[in-house]
């Protein structure tokens, strides 16, 4: 529990708030005194998260929203503005996943679906809140990407493509909003223990996940809250992936070698990321 309430009087929208990183992030902001708007497709799951937040004594609103629908996103944001008069922080977290090789017959359809939710959902939400934040002269937009949004993994091509798109969108938006008082932060977590992989075929998972210790959603949520407070433009976690990304910048061969080595238990122990995958 915070000793003080750093987000008192702040209005925070969290998409994909029904579970995982979204749920954990909503709880963190609520503990910090924020009024939290929970957005996702499942009203029942959102209600359970709202019940968890209720004891903190901060306002919480549930809005069933499919971020792939511009109309639903616009309605959600307009409703929040009408209710609270402002929007201070948007956490663009909603998204899905897919596994399989580029040669799979369903690859194009998977990539298209992920782009609709993981990428365009963030575009729609950002475009919806920006006029409000511009009138305020301040605001924060946090876009959740992934480490594979900086370095793609085999069998994760569709998801990696969507996450690379999020990364490019965030970088563009951050630069376009320079000097506006609106901060854009991109968060790149490594493998995280969420329901993200539920229903995905285990035998088609990237082999790199076999020996990778997943992050706890709460760890990512704490990092997101910290990044908002520090107005960080970019956050990659844990500390090991930046080593791979730095090497990949210098040499694609090195980056590919690093990814291949991640399916070896001894290597993952060496870099401190060893554990049981999803």
For residue 185, give every residue at least 6 positions away whose Cβ sits within 8 Å of its Cβ, in sequence order, or none. 140, 141, 142, 143, 170, 224, 227, 228, 231, 232, 233, 234, 235
Number of H helices, E strands in the chain: 10, 7
Tokens of 13: 């929208």
- Phi and psi based region of residue 219 (left: phi greater than 0; alpha: psi -120 to 50; beta: remaining): alpha
The model's pLDDT over 101-123, given as tens digits with 9 standing for 90+, comes to 999 999 999 999 999 999 999 99
Q: Are strands 60-64 and 234-237 parallel, antiparallel or unpaired?
A: unpaired
The residues pairing with 63 across neighbouring beta strands, listed in sequence order, are: 39
Q: Which strands sit side by side in the sheet containing 139-144, from one edge to the other? A: 60-64, 35-40, 11-15, 89-92, 139-144, 182-189, 234-237
pTM above 0.85? Answer: yes
pLDDT for the residue numbered 1: 44
Active site residue 124: no
Tell me what the pLDDT averaged over the chain comes to.
Answer: 94
Residue in 2, 124, 159, 188 annotated catalytic: 159
Tell me the CA distances in angstroms from 212 to 70, 143, 171, 268, one per residue in order: 36, 24, 28, 7
Contact 21/93 with Cβ under 8 angstroms?
yes
pLDDT for the residue numbered 2: 44
The model's pLDDT over 212-227, given as tens digits with 9 standing for 90+, comes to 888 999 999 999 999 9
CA–CA distance, 166 with 163 (Å, rounded to integer): 5
Q: How large is the angle between the packed helices 107-114 and 157-176, nearest 10 degrees?
A: 30
All structural domains of the chain, each given as residue ranges with its CATH number in brackets, are 11-203+214-240 (3.40.50.720)
Q: Are strands 182-189 and 234-237 parallel, antiparallel or unpaired?
A: parallel
Cα angle value 6/10/13 (rounded, 5°): 120
Contact 195/20 with Cβ under 8 angstroms?
yes
CA–CA distance, 26 with 53 (Å, rounded to integer): 8
> Quick one: how far is CA 109 from the chain centroid?
22
Tokens of 259: 């990814």
pLDDT for the residue numbered 212: 86
Q: What b-and-e string marks burial along 30-42, b requiring 16 or more CB atoms within 10 Å of the CB?
A: bbbbbbbbbbbbe
The residues pairing with 33 across neighbouring beta strands, listed in sequence order, are: none
Residue 205 has pLDDT above 80, yes or no: no
CA–CA distance, 220 with 94 (Å, rounded to integer): 14
CA–CA distance, 123 with 166 (Å, rounded to integer): 9
Instruction: Cite the beta strand spans of the chain per DSSP E.
Output: 11-15, 35-40, 60-64, 89-92, 139-144, 182-189, 234-237
The model's pLDDT over 127-173, given as tens digits with 9 standing for 90+, comes to 999 999 999 999 999 999 999 999 999 999 999 999 999 999 999 99
């Amino acid at each position: 529990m915070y000793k003080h309430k750093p987000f008192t009087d702040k209005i925070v929208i969290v998409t994909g708030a029904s579970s995982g990183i979204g749920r954990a992030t909503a709880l963190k902001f609520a503990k910090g005194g924020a009024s939290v708007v929970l957005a996702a497709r499942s009203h029942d799951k959102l209600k359970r998260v709202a019940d968890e937040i209720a004891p903190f004594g901060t306002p919480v609103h549930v809005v069933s929203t499919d971020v792939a629908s511009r109309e639903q996103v616009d309605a959600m944001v307009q409703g929040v503005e009408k209710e609270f008069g402002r929007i201070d922080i948007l956490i663009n977290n909603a998204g899905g996943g897919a596994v399989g090789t580029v040669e799979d017959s369903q690859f194009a359809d998977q990539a298209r679906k992920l782009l609709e939710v993981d990428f365009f959902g963030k575009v729609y939400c950002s475009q919806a809140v920006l006029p409000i934040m511009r009138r305020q002269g301040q605001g924060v937009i946090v876009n959740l990407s992934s480490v594979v949004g900086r370095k793609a993994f085999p069998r994760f091509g569709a998801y990696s493509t969507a996450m690379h798109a999020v990364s490019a969108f965030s970088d563009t938006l951050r630069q376009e909003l320079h000097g506006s008082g609106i901060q854009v932060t991109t968060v790149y977590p490594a493998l995280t223990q969420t329901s993200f992989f539920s229903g995905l075929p285990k035998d088609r998972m990237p082999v790199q996940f076999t020996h990778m210790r997943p992050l706890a959603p709460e760890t990512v949520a704490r990092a997101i809250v910290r990044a908002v407070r520090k107005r960080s433009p970019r956050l990659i976690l844990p500390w090991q992936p930046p080593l791979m990304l730095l090497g990949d910048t210098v040499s694609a061969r090195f980056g590919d070698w690093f990814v291949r080595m991640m399916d070896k238990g001894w290597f993952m122990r060496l870099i401190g990321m060893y554990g049981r995958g999803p």
